[in-house]
């Protein structure tokens, strides 16, 4: 973790995850589906303080999609409106093949998420074998796309470190520590401290927390020196108890305001590129 004397010396990059694969307009009518809607949400979130956009895409009816042309359209529209870092998910949705999960790489984002192990996801199993991790890492490497490890369990951090040793994942590693997914690690301060302490000092790490746990865990991450904090409709649709967020930008603005109170400045995309070695 960051040294205590350096706690507030670096800005923190806010990541916006505008749509995900699970949340729908039944959860919040403002959830974007089309590439234009996703791009508009991301551009507004950038204006509110986001430096990175973590992207999934949807079919017009809201179903999760793996179509590379939808990723390409969304990224082109985003780049036409702001300089935010674009990152695609290679997690996709439950039931997608590894080829479908890697389809967004063809849209030439700057970053991509990568799983280094399997996890329970509610009542479902979200499997990722070592061979699948290697296949996605190889495809991203050939395209010059930086990777972020999506760690839902302590074993995912440890597996990533082993993948770095054998050359599957290039160093320095970037981690997104995910808490609060039903079936995986609960969103507690002890679990966050455990995951963060397993990340070597040379690596960067961020925090994602699901639902009502989001604001509390992001604040803890900011206090612990996290490099990135993720918010957006993928992870939670309420801005406060009983009130739906009007937009992803509202959630980003809340996170930026919380960071200011806690003594962390918010990174620009240029600063985030430097911190993340992109």
Element (H, E) at 199: none
Per-residue model confidence (pLDDT) at position 146: 98
Per-residue model confidence (pLDDT) at position 98: 84
Per-residue model confidence (pLDDT) at position 92: 78
Per-residue model confidence (pLDDT) at position 104: 96
Please give the model's pTM, rounded to 2 decimal places: 0.96
Residues 6+ apart with CB under 8 A from 200: 161, 173
Residue burial 48-75, b: 16+ Cβ < 10 Å; e: rest: bbbbbbbbbbbeeebebbbebebbbbbb
Residues 6+ apart with CB under 8 A from 108: 72, 75, 143, 145
Could you tell me the residue ranges of all domains in the chain? Answer: 9-275
Of 144, 62, 72, the closest CA to residue 103 belongs to: 72
Whole-angstrom distance, CA of residue 111 vs CA of residue 126: 21
Cβ-contact 33, 58 below 8 angstroms: yes
Q: What is the CATH superfamily name and number for domain 9-275?
A: Aldolase class I (3.20.20.70)
Per-residue model confidence (pLDDT) at position 124: 87
Q: What are phi and psi of 146, to 5 degrees?
A: -70, 145
Tens of pLDDT, residue by residue over 96-147, are: 888 899 999 999 999 999 999 999 988 889 899 999 999 999 999 999 999 9
Q: Which residues of the chain have pLDDT under 50?
A: 1-3
Tens of pLDDT, residue by residue over 247-264, are: 999 999 999 999 999 999
Whole-angstrom distance, CA of residue 169 vs CA of residue 139: 11
Element (H, E) at 113: strand 111-114
DSSP string over 70-107: HHHHHHHHHHHH--PEEEE-S---TT--HHHHTGGGGG
In this structure, what is the dihedral angle of CA atoms 199, 215, 239, 14, given to the nearest 10 degrees?
-40
Of 85, 19, 39, the closest CA to residue 237 belongs to: 19
């Amino acid at each position: 973790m960051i040294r205590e004397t350096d706690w507030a010396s670096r800005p923190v990059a806010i990541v916006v995850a505008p749509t995900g694969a699970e949340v729908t307009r039944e959860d919040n009518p403002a959830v974007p589906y089309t590439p234009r809607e996703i791009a508009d949400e991301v551009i507004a979130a950038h204006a509110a303080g986001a430096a990175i956009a973590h992207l999934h895409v949807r079919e017009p009816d809201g179903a999760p999609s793996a179509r590379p042309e939808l990723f390409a359209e969304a990224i082109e529209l985003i780049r036409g409106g702001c300089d935010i870092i674009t990152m695609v998910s290679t997690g996709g949705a439950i039931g997608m093949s590894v080829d479908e999960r890697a389809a967004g790489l063809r849209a030439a984002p700057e970053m991509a998420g990568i799983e280094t192990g399997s996890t329970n996801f509610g009542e479902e199993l979200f499997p990722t074998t070592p061979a699948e991790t290697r296949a996605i890492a190889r495809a991203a490497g050939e395209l010059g796309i930086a990777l972020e490890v999506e760690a839902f369990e302590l074993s995912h951090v440890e597996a990533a470190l082993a993948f770095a040793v054998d050359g599957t994942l290039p160093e320095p590693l970037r981690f997104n520590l995910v808490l609060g997914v039903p079936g995986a690690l609960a969103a507690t301060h002890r679990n966050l401290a455990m995951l963060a302490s397993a990340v070597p000092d040379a690596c960067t790490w961020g925090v994602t927390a699901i639902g009502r746990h989001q604001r509390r865990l992001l604040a803890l991450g900011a206090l612990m020196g996290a490099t990135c904090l993720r918010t957006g409709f993928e992870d939670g649709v309420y801005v406060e108890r009983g009130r739906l967020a009007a937009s992803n930008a509202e959630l980003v603005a809340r996170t930026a305001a919380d960071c200011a109170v806690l003594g962390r400045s918010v990174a620009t995309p240029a600063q985030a590129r430097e911190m993340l070695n992109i």
